[in-house]
Copies of this chain bind each other. A is one copy, B any other.
Amino acid sequence: MKKVVLKDIAQYVGVSTALVSYVLNGQAEEKQVSKENAEKIKQAAIALNYQPNQVAKSLRTQKTHTIGLVVADINYRFSTGITRSIEAEAKRRNFTVIYGSSDEDAEKFTQLTNVLINRQVDGLILVPGEDSEEQIVLLQQSGTPFVLVDRYFPNIDTNYVALDNYKASYDAISYLVKTGHKKISFVNLETSLFHLRERDRGYRDALKDHHLEANPEWMRHLRPQHLKEDMELATRQILDRLNPCDAVLFATDRLSIAGLKQFNDYGIRIPKDISVLSFDEADAFDLFYCPVSHSRQPLEKMGEAAVDILVDLINKQKTHKQLYFQTDFIAGKSCRE
């Protein structure tokens, strides 16, 4: 069964392709197409089940109505969440999303963005990984509209939608202080990614402002590739006999899961033995014996904002924006009060 194209409708009705195009694009009035022909064309389109060829349309209009999305790792909850909200908002605005996962690999990230650009996406939404500054700068120079989400580079002036990581971290620690904790550990990843470094800063400043002990051993930076072993060491340090912590803040959901597993293995009970607070949400928290308190990123809002900004950029409304969001605090029962 051959594909029905515009020309087929034109022949079927006995008019030129121009008329058909006008009618099917809702320009019947504007282009003063006779009611009779307009009606015939509409009927024919239905009768022949005409499906416009978007590729041809894109080539002609130089617009694909497509957004390219590169997430850091599709296995992250953050990624599926943000993808979902970006898709929803994109659909609302009649855009399609093509996406890919860089798996935190700078080269793959570059490759992916190039593939997407070759496919003529109108713009990009990116969650860049380590060592991607260069590619971002190149993108910027090329004039491709793009928005960064979650992660950004303080010394590159781009549009981005991010969390106020400093504040989120500061507030989380303040909450722990307020609920009577005095020896607070912070477990983060070893990375140069700015947003995670901001969480460090929030922790440090909060401790200082509340005049708490800032034991250097309590701020841990685990190697992503050696999470399990580094976590084992970290938790042992945190639970140290002589000077144990009474609370720990994990900087990401994956850290929390690894940490809680380790606590399980050690037979440590939450929150009796130690209070636990987490960044991000994880489905896995559901199955833990006590709900885990955590700071939740407003993924829906962030995704929507990213699409909004990007679409503005695409439409040449040169909004230059850096948007910060606040976390929602989800109170569980993993913190002693």
Contacts and interface: CB of A to CB of B under 8 A. Distances in A.
Interface of A: 1, 51-56, 58-59, 64, 74-75, 80, 83-84, 87, 96-101, 114-115, 117-120, 141-143, 257, 260-261, 264, 282-289
Given A51-B114, A264-B289, 19 more contacts: A1-B142, A51-B118, A53-B118, A54-B119, A55-B64, A55-B119, A74-B80, A74-B83, A74-B84, A80-B80, A87-B101, A97-B100, A99-B99, A257-B283, A257-B287, A261-B286, A282-B283, A283-B284, A288-B288
A80 B74 CA distance: 7
Contact of A100 (B80, B87, B101, B260): B87
Majority-rule SS of A interface residues:
helix
Contacts of A119: 54-55, 96
**Closest 9 CB pairs between A and B?**
A284-B284, A284-B287, A287-B288, A55-B120, A54-B118, A55-B58, A55-B59, A54-B119, A283-B284
A79 to B, nearest CB: 8
Nearest to A120: B55
A118 B49 CA distance: 12
Contacts of A142: 1
A83 B75 CA distance: 10
Contact of A53 (B53, B54, B120): B120
Contacts of A54: 118-120
B289 A289 contact: yes
Contacts of A285: 284, 287
Contacts of A289: 264, 289
- In this complex, the member of A59, A100, A142 whose beta carbon has the largest number of chain B beta carbons within 10 angstroms is A59
Contacts of A51: 114, 117-118
Contacts of A75: 80, 84
A70 to B, nearest CB: 12
20 contacts: A1-B141, A51-B118, A52-B118, A53-B118, A53-B120, A54-B118, A55-B58, A55-B64, A55-B119, A55-B120, A56-B59, A74-B84, A75-B80, A96-B98, A96-B115, A261-B287, A264-B287, A283-B283, A284-B284, A289-B289
A282 B52 CA distance: 41
A48 to B, nearest CB: 13
A1 B144 CA distance: 10
A56 B57 CA distance: 10
A287 to B, nearest CB: 4
A5 to B, nearest CB: 12
